[in-house]
Structure 1
Amino acid sequence: MTDMFSGCRVLLVSTNYAPEHAGIAPYATLTAEHLAASGADVDVLTGMPHYPGWRVHADYRGRWRMVESRGGVRVHRRRSFVPTRQTALLRAAYEAGFLAHGSIRPPAARPDLVLSQMPTLAGGVIGGRIARRHRVPHVVVVQDLMSAAAAQSGIRGGGRVASVVAGVESRILRTAALIGVVHESFVDRVTAMGVPGSRVRVVPNWSHVTPPTGDRRAVRARLGWRDEEFVLLHAGNMGLKQGLEILVETARIAHRDTPRLRIVLMGDGSQRRHLEHLAADLPNLHFLPPAAHADFPDVLAAADLLALTQRASVGDMSLPSKLTSYFASGRPTVASVASQGGTAQEVRRSGAGVLVRAEDPVALHGSVVELMRDPDRSAALGARGPAYVRERLSLEAGLGRITAVVSEALAHSAREPEARPASDAR
């Protein structure tokens, strides 16, 4: 590893970080560790680990604040309120808690650059404040668009607060030196907030899992999946925007019409108990806890088909992080999502899956049955995923894009040390 950032101090702000291994945490963690390995002195300001279960991990309960070292990075943790349910009011309390505690005694050393990971507004606000205080560039990587999420995700009360969220979000982005978005479908919405297109960079997420290596039949046997069963697996967060009720209804149809189809939901999230209640009478739908990080690729590869679902209202607010892992597994994806959103665009571009109308369990069941009956087509779709990862979603390519954005912001700051975006003066 080079020392291209030697002598540079970077502060990364992200509510999620390792040991969380789902959602944005792997990207925040690998980014910070990559910058540290490239010579930077890196601090991270984050919360106590709690995702995707929305419960603070056992090893961190009762802690108010702490500093730990992980992968050559100093990690400053702040406790905040973690809701077990998702409503607009509880989400606001979650954001407010991190904003309040994260703003008290942040890492004291002056950074040369602040890098904020958003989907949380609080992290963007804190990062912007620290950057302005020290007159250093603020780079924001947008994983989810929070104003769109409030309107589209189905969170109770979200529509009423969407305009307030949009105002805060646009302020963060307009005052940032550079903005990275994880998919090109975000660009128009970001520029509509008043951000010049010249400050927006597309920085796609990468596949952060290793290729599967386990014996597929042995993994299936360990999981209790019989050889004759066709397993449709959803792996990851069980939240509102996923609209996983469609898989419960698909299982209901399959129980009557397709007895060898087993549907498995693996993971955790705010909607898991609700889904377990809905599926209590379905012997062909099963729940698994999140797989250990090392086992995750082998579990994905042990399935026959991977499910990705979103509510019909979810368009350009996010790109599911699980998609990169799905592609790497070599299994095909069936995506029940809005046809014009970024998720659908990515599935089409990869050629590694099929698209189905969102929130249509009859159509989803029909597509699954078609792939069950055509194993050659299923295998061909699955084989395109790893090829797409190698071409576009490799770790080296993803971290290279982040490196380029950080380098650009630092170079611009060195040329114009007093320059700030015009909107910062408002």
Structure 2
Amino acid sequence: MSETELVGKDELLKAMTMCNSCPDFNLNDLRGKGDNNYQLYDWLIHNLPTAQYVLGKLVELIFSNNLTTGDEKQDEILNNFLYGQTNPEGVTNYHVLVQSIKESIVYGRSGLRFLSKDDGLINVKCNHFGVAQILNKEHYGYKELIGFVIDKKGRAITDVDLREGEIDSEEYFKKGIFVFKNNDNILLPPEKFVNLRVDTSTPKGSSVFDSDIQRVLLIASVYKRLLYDIEYDGAGRLIFWADNANSNEESSNNFLNDTESATKRRQDKYKKEVEEIMKLVKDSNSTSVLAVSNAFKKMDHLPRVTKATEFLSYLNQEGEIMAQVFGVPNVLLGLGKISGNISMEKVIDNAMLNSIIPLRENIATQISSILTNNLKVPKVYFDKYELKSQSDINDRRLKVLTVAERLKALGKEDLANKIIEEEIQL
């Protein structure tokens, strides 16, 4: 049985006449109101080929050094919590943290909730928690953070302004949690929740895609056009000329008078004509079948001015563009070229110190309080980055000393000392 028979021809016909393309073909339709572009970010990260790759590499670079407390005994507590325990969803706390960091980079922010020392961490999507603020009555002129609001059933929620009397104080004394009187939302204190963001200047954060949205949308549009051309043979636009157009029931006055009723009448008429065409299309395995009703006397084809293939050279730069969007230097991804007599190790060190290290220090600062307060460890931070260039120097000196020792064993102490002196001068 075909999909058409399962759905019903009338229902399918109605759905096909609602629009002339798939719902998300126009990327601008995915934009939300205000700064809520969750759907757009979600489409981009799951459909742009290099976006997931660059994001994964960025997180690998962030965790190229482990989280530590600076104390071996305290590290045992931290490592057991991160790698040895799983949350109620069966995910290790380390992977929850990684996922939260990824979402904060893509969507602008992500929630990291601490359940308990035994139950661990869970990730809360960016649109499933709200920032609870209240107007400061001592200094005035700003709102101070009270906590974070989540829905009991895990539904989407927005930021809220708290007002007196909205919290059920009796429920707090009974269960130790802040419950709103409407009984739908829970208020979590900052000690149990982190609003993880790359840009901490605003509660909503900022997605990496926002920094270069025009180029990102251009890449996405090229891919969508290529896919469309491949699926539908790139026919372009077709003009159907109606037969006996002078008998059109719409007068010239109605066409000029672009009122809602006139527009609706024209749309209904055109839909009926489209239905006539679609009813003529017989069962076929080809997607190139085109049937035209008797309502049209001829068809003209409008060739495209631009073709998607003209942008293929632009797609060749997608990796470098995405690296810039995510703030990852090309050298850390093996992209681009290095000119001049420059040590690759020094270039990598410079890239790490100027991009990755500041980012992960920002992340460590945000997650440190929730881990230190609940695990009772003094502090949490990323271990120090070891310079690649310095590591190479140490390796070379070790080899020189090994050679010098062998020369001394052979009775060539003067030559051994000379090699050591030259190495020290370097």
Do they fold alike, i.e. is TM over 0.5?
A: no
* TM-score normalised by the chain length of structure 2: 0.27
| Structure of greater Rg | 2
* TM-score normalised by the chain length of structure 1: 0.27
Question: More helix by proportion, 1 or 2?
Answer: 2
